Amino acid sequence: MLSLKKYLTEGLLQFTILLSLIGVRVDVDTYLTSQLPPLREIILGPSSAYTQTQFHNLRNTLDGYGIHPKSIDLDNYFTARRLLSQVRALDRFQVPTTEVNAWLVHRDPEGSVSGSQPSSGLALESSSGLQDVTGPDNGVRESEPEQGLSEDLEDLGAVAPPVSGDLTKEDIDLGAGREVFDYSHRQKEQDVDKESRDGRGEQEDTWAGEGSDALARDLLVDGETGECFPAQFPVDAASLPEAVPSEGEPPALQNSLLSPLLTGAESPFDLEQQWQDLMSIMEMQAMEVNTSGGETLYSGPPGDALSTSYSLAPSTAINQNVSLHQASLGSCSQDFSLFSPEVESLPPAASSPVLLPLVPSNSTSLNATFSPGGLAGLFFPPQLNGTANDTAGPELPDPLGGLLDEAMLDEISLMDLAIEEGFNPAQASRLEEEFDSDSGLSLDSSHSPSSLSGSEGSSSSASSASSASSSASSASSSTSSSFSEEGAVGYSSDSETLDLEEAEGAVGYQPEYSKFCRMSYQDPSQLSCLPYLEHVGHNHTYNLAPSALDAADLPPAGGLKRGGKEKQADFLEKQMSRDEHRARAMKIPFTNDKIINLPVEEFNELLSKYQLSEAQLGLIRDIRRRGKNKMAAQNCRRRKLDTILNLERAVEDLRRDKARLLREKADSLRSLRQMKQKVQSLYQEVFGRLRDENGRPYSPSQYALQYAGDGSVLLIPRAMAEQQAHARRQERKPKERRK
């Protein structure tokens, strides 16, 4: 048994593993996935060996010495024997196998486009899919704030890791994926089969061979653990094809996009139907007037398919807009999370085709037709004086001018002001864009350290130095910091300083380090944790004065062979600041930390304990002054940075607020137009039913309805109504000016 194990372990099995892993990985995976746990155990080792934590060990086992021989038994031996022959046979086809894999790379995306959507295409679609998501979306929301878009993109990466996480990222993130295993073998394979690979460019080999293999294998085997998880991608596959509509989007997809829109439009149509019912109940005789008015109001730009279709149901405009988004939502279940509700609801481009029709090309005429007072008609039941007459004519220059509730004037006037100013949602979005683009501040938060730099507490790691120093300085006030970090003046860490002092019997340093706060920002190990701060590790200790260097640069006594400690001490010595060198040269009997960080009372007390020369005292005072100033400068810079970051955040918040307000404004305008249209209909209906004493209808050019303060509606001569409306307008102007 043992001999068999040994035989397997050291001979056949390893050879089998090597061969199988060199060129026939997919086939090995096939075996693995075909429910052959023993073989899986033999070749790949226990599943635990493929966990991420073990992966580097796995990487080290490429030579075949870490294959978990404990998992081998006799059963596996025979299985392995059988497989060995197969593997050897397969090995001859390793190159074609690789080519097949390369073919998979190019095929899968097509499959995803075609709608059959093999799960493999998802990962392959990653980058293009990302663009596809934003592409059509941009097509609909082309005036979306770029900030929102960037956020969306970030979100997309978060939402759909399989999409955004491409191969290279996987390699980077995991340090080594399972591909490494294969890659290494492929290196060997290159050695063995160079001729067969000479025809390929290296890049192609990397992509077609490694990349596609990895991708294709990702479909079945986790790149890291080697575990099969076919169920994961189908899940994404179900959502992604919708979330990632490609350019060559099939009509079916577009239909799926439109269908929710149409469905969503049903509700508005129902409303409209109700309204029509109401009209019919009132037996409106001049229905065509209303209809024509509505069409006029909602007629969109020619050629606009959306607006054209929507113009038939003006009152549904808002809901149609919503429906449009719902449609895109339904079809983009994943990327929908990209858009925050507020951003998403803003319909720069999506709504532009829809909203533009809402904005009457002749807004002034609309205002002329519907003065703010017209709205009042919406808020009281059609309780009219009941003087019935003939139908009113279609021309109602300012029919509701007198129906205004003064309380609404101011509020509505704002809306009307917007209309009068020619405001429309498209302009709003345009404004938004301009605002976004000319903010002058780069709000790129993707790599902005703002995310790392929180408030004072979290402190901007962006200014790593500043951050550490801030905490250091803040703690210094209490002089009870537990930090064991670099002193304010020196660059060496406490432990390093201690080593140095121990090694060289430093000039009377008293290591009460824990008492003092120290700055850690020069700690390379910490810097290494902050990739964007890797460059922050300068030793800006200025050139030492020759006198100081004399003492500092003395070679080790006796010229003994330096140990690691001494080398470290030498290195640290070079890292010492100028003031530290000076202090050593002047034989200052305490550390610069103490000099700098002690409260003035303790500092004076410390000075009194020693007999110090004037030069020493002067140096100590300078060290203290410079050290404190250094910390102050660091704090100052940190505050500056924090201020900038806070300003950036504030600007971003303001941008969001502005976008939200613009959206609300657009919504309000839409609602206003809807209400005005309804009021117009009501007005016409009521006016049309009025009859004079002879049973004839009143002429709309001569009479108008006016809403009185007591809630009643009066029929007054139009001239009088216009006069009153003019008077109100004059009244309103000073108010607006005051505002």
Partner DNA sequence: TTCGAATGTCATATT
Partner DNA sequence: GAAATATGACATTCG
* Cβ within 8 Å of residue 559, ≥6 positions away: none
User: Shortest Cβ distance from residue 671 to DNA (Å)?
Assistant: 48
DSSP state, residue 300: -
Rg (CA), the chain: 39
Which among 130, 125, 138, 153 has a CA at the least distance from the CA of 237?
125
**Locate tokens 């294709």: which residue?**
216
Work out which of 110, 202, 411, 622 binds DNA, going by CB under 7 A. Answer: 622
Contacts by 39-42, CB closer than 8 A, 24 or more apart? 39/76, 39/79, 39/80, 39/83, 41/68, 41/71, 41/72, 41/76, 42/13, 42/16, 42/17, 42/67, 42/71, 42/72, 42/76, 42/79, 42/80
Q: Say if CB 46 and CB 115 are below 8 A apart.
A: no
Contact between 646 and DNA per CB under 7 A: no
Cβ–Cβ < 8 Å for 167, 46? no
Per rule CB under 7 A, count of chain residues that contact DNA: 42
> Which of 538, 738 has the CB closer to DNA?
538
| Residue that has been written with the tokens 């593997």 in this structure | 87
Q: Which stretch binds DNA (CB under 7 A): 267-275, 393-401, 631-639, 660-668?
A: 631-639
Burial class (CB in 10 A: 0-12, 13-18, 19+), 216: buried
497 binds DNA (CB under 7 A): no
Q: Is 453 a residue that touches DNA (CB under 7 A)?
A: no
Please, what is the minimum distance in Å from the beta carbon of residue 175 to DNA?
A: 24
Q: List the one residue from 194, 447, 535, 739 that touches DNA (CB under 7 A).
A: 535
Shortest separation between residue 590's beta carbon and DNA, angstroms: 15
| Residue in 2, 302, 542, 546 binding DNA, rule: CB under 7 A | 542
CB contact at 8 A, 369 and 337 = no
Task: Give the integer Cα–Cα distance in Å for 700 and 194.
Answer: 94
Using CB under 7 A as the binding rule, whether residue 518 contacts DNA is answered as no
| Number of DSSP helices (H) and strands (E) in the chain, helices first | 37, 2
Q: Which stretch binds DNA (CB under 7 A): 67-75, 120-128, 406-414, 532-540?
A: 532-540
Q: How far is the CB of 658 from DNA (least distance, A)?
A: 29
Q: Which of residues 640 and 735 has its CB atom nearest to DNA in the complex?
A: 640
CB-nearer residue toward DNA: 628 or 665: 628
Using alpha carbons, list the distances in angstroms from residue 525 to 466, 496, 552, 631.
16, 13, 26, 21
Dist. CA 502–CA 272, nearest whole Å: 89
Q: Show the site string, 457-486: x = touches DNA by CB under 7 A, - = not.
A: ------xxxx------x--xx---------
CB 466 to DNA: min, Å: 6
Q: Shortest gap between Cβ of 637 and DNA (angstroms)?
A: 6
Question: Is residue 599 within the footprint of DNA (CB under 7 A)?
Answer: yes
Please report how close the Cβ of residue 460 comes to DNA at its closest, in angstroms: 11
Q: Is 628 in the site for DNA (CB under 7 A)?
A: yes
Based on CB atoms, which residue is closest to DNA, 429 or 476? 476
Q: Does the footprint of DNA cover residue 61 (CB under 7 A)?
A: no
Q: Which amino acid is at 216?
A: A
Rounded CA-CA distance 323/518 in Å is: 60
| Least distance in angstroms from the C-beta of 669 to DNA | 44
State how far the alpha carbon of 455 is from the alpha carbons of 298, 362, 458, 473, 646, in Å. 50, 51, 6, 15, 9
Residue span 559-598 as binding mask against DNA, x where in contact by CB under 7 A, dash where not: ------------------xxx-------------------
Piece of 104-112, 149-157, 535-543, 709-717 that binds DNA (CB under 7 A):
535-543
Q: What CA–CA distance (Å, rounded) separates 588 from 509?
A: 8
Q: Is 625 in the site for DNA (CB under 7 A)?
A: yes
What character string, x for contact with DNA (CB under 7 A) and - otherwise, covers 600-619?
Answer: x--x----------------
Residue ranges binding DNA (CB under 7 A): 463-466, 473, 476-477, 489, 491, 521-522, 535-543, 577-579, 599-600, 603, 622, 624-630, 632-637, 639-640
